[in-house]
Structure 1
Amino acid sequence: MKKFFALLAFTGVLLISCSDDDTTMTTTPPPDPVNYTSGSADFSNYVAVGNSLTAGYSDAALFIDGQTASFPNMLAENFALAGGGAFTIPFMADNLGGATLGGQTILGNRLILSFASGSPAPVPVSGQGATEISNTLTGPFNNMGVPGAKSFHLAAAGYGNVAGVPLGAANPYYARFATSASATVIGDAAVQNPTFFSLWIGNNDILSFATSGGLGVDQTGNLDPTTYGSNDITDPNVFAGVLDGLLQTLTANGADGIMMNIPDVTSIPYFTTVPYNAIPLDEATAGVVNQAYLPYNGGIQQALAALDGTGLFTAEEAARRTINFSAGPNAVVIIDEDLTDLGAINPAFAGLPKYRQATPEDLLVLGNLSFLGTLANPNDPTSINGVAVPLTDQWVLTPEEQASVIAAQTSYNQTISALAQAYDVALVDANAFLTTFAETGFPLSDGSTVSATYGTGGGFSLDGVHPSPRGYALLANLMVEAINTKYGSNLPGVDPLNFTGLYLQ
C-alpha cells in the first residue's frame, strides 16, 4: 500500500499599475490601517485551557514549532492587535518532541516522512529529545493545554506531580509546569486572573476509547472517575459536572471566553485512511485461504443447524461470520466481541471463535498501514495478519463501539451548548467544522483546498488525529469569527497559507 505526498508551492504576486501615458510606474498605495478593537471583551490577559489540541500537539508529539503554531498562540497574536498582552507557553526543549524522566525516555519523538523504504512512511525523527520532565519550569503560563488530559483531570490535585508520572498517576507534560505537586490545571489557570479564556476539553474522554479500538469500557452510569481506566469513556454526568465547575472557576472574576464542542472523532484520518477491504489476493492465494477457513465455516453451519429456531443464533449472523476470499480486494478478518458466544449456548461449540470479515461500517485504525499483511509468526509465511490471523479488538472500531462513542459525544455537546449559553460565552461548532472538513475540505486564497486526507490533504498531521499547523489556523479563524460575532470585536484572523500543512525534513 503506497501513499504519495506532495507540497504546495506558494508564489507571491506584486501588483504594479501604470499611469495613463505608460511612462511612470507606481505601486498601488497601501490601504489605510485598520483600527482593531476588542468590542466588549478584554483580551489583556488570555489563558487557554484544554488538552493536546490547545497545546499545539501534532505529528504524535509536542515540540517548539508545533507549540508556536497552536491555535491559542494564533489567537493571542490577534488579541495583541486589540489590547492583548503577552502570551507565555511552556515550551519543550527542542523540536524533537521526545522527553525523558530521570534520563529514561518516556515520550517519543515526533513523526516525519521517511523515504528509506522507497515509499514515504511516517517514522519518528532521529535523536534524543532534550526535554527532561523533572526539570520543572517557572510560570505562570498562558497556554494551559495539557496533552492527554480528560475533563476530570483538569481539576485533579496531583495531576502535575513528577513523582506520580512513572506510576501513571500524573501527566508528564503538566508535571513540567505545575506550580506545585498538589496543583490543579484549572487552579493554575485561575490564579492568573484571566480576562479572557478559551476552554476546549472532552475530546480525550471518548478519543482514547476510539483510538484503542474500543479496548476500554463505556463508563456511562459510573460517577467515580477515580475508577476509570485510561481508555474508558467518561460518564456524561461526570463530564457535565466537571465542565460546570471549570466554567465557574474561569468566570468567577467576570472573564469572557470561548468554548468549542467535541467533533465526531470517527471522521478523522486515524479511522478513515485504511479501507476495510485492504487485502489484495490473486485467485490461487484466495483458494488457499478459503481452504484454511473450511473447518471454521463448517462449524458455523453446524451451530446454525443445531440452534435453528431457538432465536439464539440466526442465519443472518451465520452469514456474517462465514469467511470467503476471492481474487481482488478482500475484507480483512477480525475478532468481533459482540458476536454471539456460541459456546455459552451449547458447549459443543465452545471452540468456535468470534470471527467475521469487516464491512464498510467497520473502522480500521491507522496503525494497520504498517500492520496488515505482516506475519504473526516470522517462521510461518501463512500467518498473515488480517488474513489467516484475524485482527484483534485494538485494530478495529466496530459499529457497536462507534455507537458508544457517538452517544457520549452527543451528550457532551448538549452539555457544552447549554453551559455556553448559561455562562454567556462564545461557542464554536467544531463538530460541524470537522464534518465539512472531512467531506469537502476548505478552499484557500491561492486556489488550493486543504482537506482531511491523510498525508496529502494538509489539514491533519501524520498522527492522523491532530491538525497540522494549517489545520489549527483554520480552527483559529473559526474561533475569531465566533469571538467577533459574540463580543463585537473586529479581529482579522490568520492566513492558513502562512502555516505548514506538512513538516518535511
Structure 2
Amino acid sequence: MKIKYIGVLLIALGFIACESDDSTTMDDVQVDLSAGSADFSNYVALGASFTAGYTDGALFIASQGNSFPNILSQQFSALGSGEFTQPLMNDNVGGLLLGGNVIANPRLFFNGAGPAVLPAMPSTEVSNVIAGPYSNMGVPGAKSFHLLANGYGNVAGVATGQANPYFARMASSANASMLEDALAQAPTFFTLSEVGGNDVLGFATSGGSGVDQTGNFDPTTYGSNDITDPNVFAQTFTALVGALTGSGAKGVVTNVPYVTSLPYFTTIPYAPLDPTNPDFGPQIPLLNATFAPLNQAFAFLGVPERSIVFSETAASPVVIFDESLPDISAQLFPVLQAGGLDPLTAQLLSAQFAQSRQATAEDLLVLTSSSVIATLNEEYFNQLITLGVPAATAGQLAVNGVTYPLEDRWVLTSSEENSVRVATDAYNVTIENVASSSGLALVDLNGILQQASTTGITFDNFTMNTDLVFGGLVSLDGVHLTARGYALMANKFLEAIDATYGSNFIEAGQVAKANNYPVTYSPELQ
C-alpha cells in the first residue's frame, strides 16, 4: 500500500531590511541616555545557540551580526562601550567541516513550499581554531553544565562527541571552559541567556527517545539527550552567577521557555491522514477491516482505547508507539490466534501493536516527522521479508503511522511533554531565586514565548507569532529565532536592564527597530 503524505503547505514572505529612524527623541523632546548604575564598558555574553545567533538551522556571518548580544552591544556603544567581538564563521552558507568532512549542514532557506537545505558546501573547518576569548561566548548545543566543563572546546574530542565543534574553533585553549574564557575578559556587564534550554530541548526534539535524527551535528540533540536533573542545574546555575558577579559585574539572566510551544512541536498535526487524499481515502475501508480483529482483541483484553479506526469523513490521527503503555504482547498473541488468525500473523500483530494507540491532541509530532508519516518503513519491511512474509503483505504492514506505529523519536507523548515542563519549572524557580538574591535583571523568555504562541506579540508595526515560516518570530528550523526575533529579544533585555539598573534605553529610544532586521535570508546570500 503506497500512501503519499500531504503535509502543511508553508507560505512565507521575506521582509527585506530597510533603514529606520534611530532618533533618541520622545514626542520631539530630547532624552539623554543614561547607564544608571550599570557599567557597559566591557560586555560579555555567555549562553548557547540563541546567544550565538543560530538561525535557520545554522550559524553564519549574517546571523551572527544579528545575534541579540551584538544588537545589545550596538545600543551599549552609545554609552562608550568597548568593541564587541564574535567568532565569525567563514561565510553565509553555514555548516561545519571536520577534517574536510561535513559534520553540520548548511543553513535552511524557503524554497516556495517549505524549508530546504541550501545547496552549497560548508567552508568553516572546525580544526582551524580562531582562538579567543570573544565577547560573544554563545555556543550552540551547550547545556548548563557544559559551561563549566574543561575540555569542552578540545578539537580532538569533537569526533567522539566529547567536545563541541562551535566552542572548539573559538576556545582560548584545548582545556579551557566557556566560563573561564568569559571571566578572563573581566566583564563589567554580562548576559547569561537560555541556560537550561538545551537541558530539556534535546530530549524533546528526539521525541523523548534520545535518538539523533539528523546524522550530523545538531545543537538541539548534541550529547546525551536526558533531561538534566534540576538539582544539578541549580548547582550549576548558582556557580555560574556567583563567578560572573564575583568581581562586581552586573548583568541580565533569562528564564527557560516551554520549548514545546515552539513550531518544531506544533506545526505537524496529530491527525494528518486526510480521507480526501486519493492515496489514502480509498484504502480506509480495507484498513478498518484489517484492524477489526485487532480491535476486538483490544476490547477483550480491556483496553478498547487502543483501537485503531480511520475516519472516512474527517482527518484521522496517526498510529504511534507509546512506551508508557503496558506491553500486552504475551496476552495479545493467544487472543488473536483464538480469533482465527494464523500463528505468524498473530505473532507479528501482537508484537507490532503491543504498545500502540492512535495519537491524541495531547501528543506532539516533531517537525521532522512530516518526512516519515505514511512512508514505507524499510527496516521493518525487510524484517518481514526475511520472515517469509510476501512483499505485498509486508508493504501493507510497514506504513509509518498507519499500519506501523510511528516510532518514539517522532512523537513527544503527553507524559514526555509533562517531564519537560516539570524540569523547566524547576529550572525557572532556581533562576528567579538566584537572580533576585544576586540583584540581577531577569528577562521572562517563557512569558514572551507564551504570548507569541497565543495572541502574538507586537514589535513596532509587526505582530509576530510562532507559526513556522510566516510567523516572523521563529526561523525555518522551528526552534531558533529570526533576526527580527533576536532584535525583539534584545529590546526585552533593555527593558529589564532599565527596570533593574535605572538606565533609560527605552525612554531614550536607544533600541532595535523591527524594520532593520529580516525574517528570512535569501538563498543567494553566501
Q: TM over 0.5: same fold?
A: yes
Compared with structure 1, are the counterparts of its residues 99 and 230 closer, same or farther at alpha carbon in structure 2 (3 Å cutoff)?
same
Matched residues in 2 for 1:136 and 1:13: separation?
37
Distance 2:18 2:68 in 1: 25
CA distance in 2, matches of 1:12, 1:472: 17
Of 164, 175, 183, which residue of structure 1 is paired with 2:168? 175
Instruction: Determine if contact 2:18/2:516 at 8 Å carries over to the other structure.
Output: no
Amino acid at match of 2:480: H
Consecutive unaligned residues of structure 2, counting only runs of 5 or more, are 1-6, 22-26, 212-221, 336-349, 382-390
Alignment of 1:97-246 (within 5 A): 97-115=94-112, 120-200=113-193, 201-216=195-210, 230-246=224-240
Deviates more, 1:261-270 or 1:290-299: 290-299
1:344–1:49 distance in 2 versus 1, CA, 3 Å: farther
2:258 to 264, 278, 281: 264
Structure-1-length-normalised TM-score: 0.87
> 1:343, CA displacement in angstroms?
4.1
**CA deviation map 1:305-358 (0-9, x unaligned):** xxxxxxxxxxxxx23200000113111110111112224678857645211001
Q: Distance in 1 between matches of 2:298 and 2:78?
A: 68
Of stretches 415-424 and 371-380 in structure 1, the one that deviates more from structure 2 is 371-380
When residues 407 and 215 of structure 1 are mapped into structure 2, their CA distance, relative to the original with a 3 A threshold, is: same
On the 8 A contact 1:56/1:71 being kept in 2, the answer is yes
CA contact (8 A) 2:488 2:514 kept: yes
For residue 342 of structure 2, what is the aligned residue in structure 1? none
User: Match of 1:276?
Assistant: 270
Q: Which has the higher contact order (CA 8 A, sep 6+)?
A: 2
Rounded to whole Å, the distance in 2 between the matches of 1:360 and 1:396 is 12
CA distance in structure 1 between the partners assigned to 2:404 and 2:139 by the alignment: 38
Q: Tell me how far 1:423 sits from its aligned partner.
A: 1.1
Q: 3-state SS of the aligned residue for 1:417?
A: helix
The answer on whether the counterparts of 2:297 and 2:332 sit within 8 Å (CA) in structure 1 is no
Distance apart, 1:375 and its partner CA: 2.4
Find the aligned partners of 2:327 and 2:474 in 1 and give their Cα distance.
40
Question: Are 2:19 and 2:516, in contact at CA under 8 Å, matched by a contact in 1?
Answer: no
TM-score, normalised to structure 2's length? Answer: 0.84
Matches within 5 A, 1:449-460: 449-460=463-474
- Give the SS at the match of 1:402: helix
Give the 3 Å change call, closer, same or farther, for CA 59–10 of structure 1 in structure 2: closer
What's 2:386 paired with? Answer: none
Matched residue pairs, number?
463
Asked whether the equivalents of residues 17 and 517 of structure 2 are also in contact (C-alpha less than 8 Å), the reply is: no
In structure 2, distance between residues paired with 1:153 and 1:7: 36
Deviation at 1:10, TM superposition (A): 8.2
- Residue 374 of structure 1, CA deviation: 2.2
Match of 2:418 in 1: 403
| Alignment CA distance shift 1:12-1:105 (3 Å) | closer
| Of 478, 496, 500, the match for 2:514 | 496
Distance 1:320 1:504, change over 3 A: farther
Aligned mates of 2:459, 2:238 — CA distance in 1: 37
Give 1:242-391 correspondences, 5 Å limit.
242-282=236-276, 284-304=282-302, 318-327=303-312, 328-343=314-329, 348=334, 351=351, 352-377=353-378, 382=396, 383-391=398-406
Q: CA-to-partner distance for each residue in 1:147-183, whole Å, 9 max, x for gaps?
A: 0000000001100000000010000000001111110
Work out the percentage of aligned pairs sharing the same amino acid. Answer: 47
> What is the aligned counterpart of 2:83 among 79, 83, 86?
86
The whole-number CA distance in structure 2 between the counterparts of 1:150 and 1:84 is 29
Q: Distance in 1 between matches of 2:41 and 2:274?
A: 58
Match of 1:480?
494
Question: C-alpha offsets along residues 69-91 of structure 1, whole Å, 9 cap, x if unaligned?
Answer: 01000111111112311100001
Deviation at 1:229, TM superposition (A): 6.0
